[in-house]
Structure 1
Amino acid sequence: MTQSFDIDSFIRSRKQTRAVSDLLKAQAADYLTTLAPLVRPQPLFGEYLQGAPKGSGRETQHHFKEFRTLFDEHAARRPFNLINELEVPLNIISSTPDLFPLEYDHALPDGSTIRVTSPARWVVGYTSFDLGRFRQVIQDPNRSGSELHRFVVHYLMLFHCLSRAPGLGRLLKGLRFPVSFQQLDDFGNLPFCVISSPVTSTLPADEVIRHSTEIAGNDSFEELIAEDAIDAMQDDLRERLMRALREATSR
């Protein structure tokens, strides 16, 4: 998008973006809630989780060893610098998935940095472990080590459960809300689960971002969803069926 700044058209784009984003997020959350039992940690970890029933000894031991390796790989590194070790059984306070805004930094030509929010992608976390609060705890010099430890454990637990359920990824992709794993600004190399929507959002020209943030008096901005992005939505199943028809008739 390279449009010049026009307040009326920008406000219209913001309203359209918010309406579409709210609908998309509600749909993604509904899918995630329905599929949540498939990524519950209790069946994977059994007695290694506090209050969970005993599971298959070899399998639960395997998952715990993998998780401990994952924790050791990330917890002691910046920006967490945790020295706490995992205590068994693990105390997983919440295993209900939730969606949080995906944010990243965007540098403007004048050297300033804008915090950008995506209206079409969301970070998957557990209820009661808000991603914004996680970021605040990391940046707080007087932070609670135990609270930070809980955040790291819960986000790594969700990553472990989702990454060990490839069938769930294929299912969400078929529903047009694919899952990916990526690192986020402010969280070092910690892997996060991100759900994307079938509609793409983009940033306008830097000049538009600069005008918007100056008028709003803040350093945050939300990507915009254009009408042509909805027109450009692809239906993977339709494309596969059409390709099958073409291949069948060319034999």
Structure 2
Amino acid sequence: MTQTFDVEALIRLRSQTRAISDALKAQASDYLATLALLIRPQTFFGEYLQGAQRSSGRETQHHFKELKELYDRIGSASPFQLVNELEVPLTLISTTPELFPLEYDKVLSQSGQSIRITSPVRWVVGFSSFDLARFRTVIKDPNRSSAELHRFVVHYLVLFYCLSQSPGVGRVLEGLRFPLSFERLKYFGDLPFCVIGSPVRAQLPDESVIRSSTQIAGNTSFEELVGHENIVEMNDEIRQRLLLTIEGM
């Protein structure tokens, strides 16, 4: 990984990173689209969704009750502080899963400057039309629309609930080497997000490289980098598991 600020080397590394990220995201999106039928909200909430057919009353009632408990606990707390009730039937604008960039903040030790870091190999799963960056903007807006904020919280909670209640989907993605995890992100309180990883590791260069790059670009954002060595060091988990299975036989 780049340790000194070499503009040409950094440009090449960024180009490689973008190409690798695009390929991985396309693969992850394809897998997610294939599995989307297994995480349909209608399966869990039945008649509690607008336009959905009736299903097992006791089962859908149980799922809706758990979702409502999540919403009441998370939605009423900071930073959302929603007073809206969870309406019945629920109106979902979109149930098509989409991948959004996973971002986090890093404070540079020497300057104390906060840099927004983007991962090229991990993504947050959301429903289309509910962009994560827009969600963050709505939260920070003092004049925000409570109705819009409510819609964001509900859609991300519904997706989390469906995926957390579908462990088979997680096992399939794990087998495909795009593991699914549930994480909390800064600025979003206790709201759990669904995050899809990949078999490739990305990393940050020295802070001096980040500082020089952002100064030249005139912004406060940086993307983790994927180099040739990150591809070479990829492990074949199935191979390792089989070797452990026969070890000592």
- Per the shorter chain, which TM-score range? over 0.9
Partner of 1:17: 17
Partner of 2:83: 83
Please give the secondary structure, in 1, of the residue aligned with 2:126.
strand
Letter in 1 for 2:66: E
Q: RMSD of the alignment, in Å? A: 0.9
Partner of 1:206: 207
Name the count of aligned residue pairs.
248
> How many angstroms does 1:42 deviate by?
0.2
Which whole-Å deviations, capped at 9, do the CAs of 1:104-134 have from their partners, x for residues lacking one?
Answer: 0000021110000000000000011111111
Structure 2's unaligned 5+ residue stretches are none
> How many angstroms does 1:183 deviate by?
0.8
Superposition map of 1:128-143 within 5 A: 128-143=129-144
Partner of 1:158: 159
C-alpha separation between the residues in 2 aligned to 1:239 and 1:154?
38
Letter in 2 for 1:212: S
C-alpha separation between the residues in 2 aligned to 1:87 and 1:200?
42
Letter in 2 for 1:149: H
Letter in 2 for 1:245: I
Please give the secondary structure, in 1, of the residue aligned with 2:247.
helix
> How many angstroms does 1:2 deviate by?
6.2
Partner of 1:177: 178
Runs of 4+, deviation exceeding 3 Å: none
Q: 2:179–2:198: 8 Å Cα contact kept in structure 1?
A: yes
TM-score in terms of structure 2 length: 0.98
> How many angstroms does 1:186 deviate by?
1.5
C-alpha separation between the residues in 1 aligned to 2:228 and 2:52?
48
Q: Percent identity?
A: 64
Superposition map of 1:19-168 within 5 A: 19-109=19-109, 110-168=111-169
Please give the secondary structure, in 2, of the residue aligned with 1:69.
helix
TM-score in terms of structure 1 length: 0.97
Q: 2:2–2:10: 8 Å Cα contact kept in structure 1?
A: no
> How many angstroms does 1:245 deviate by?
3.0
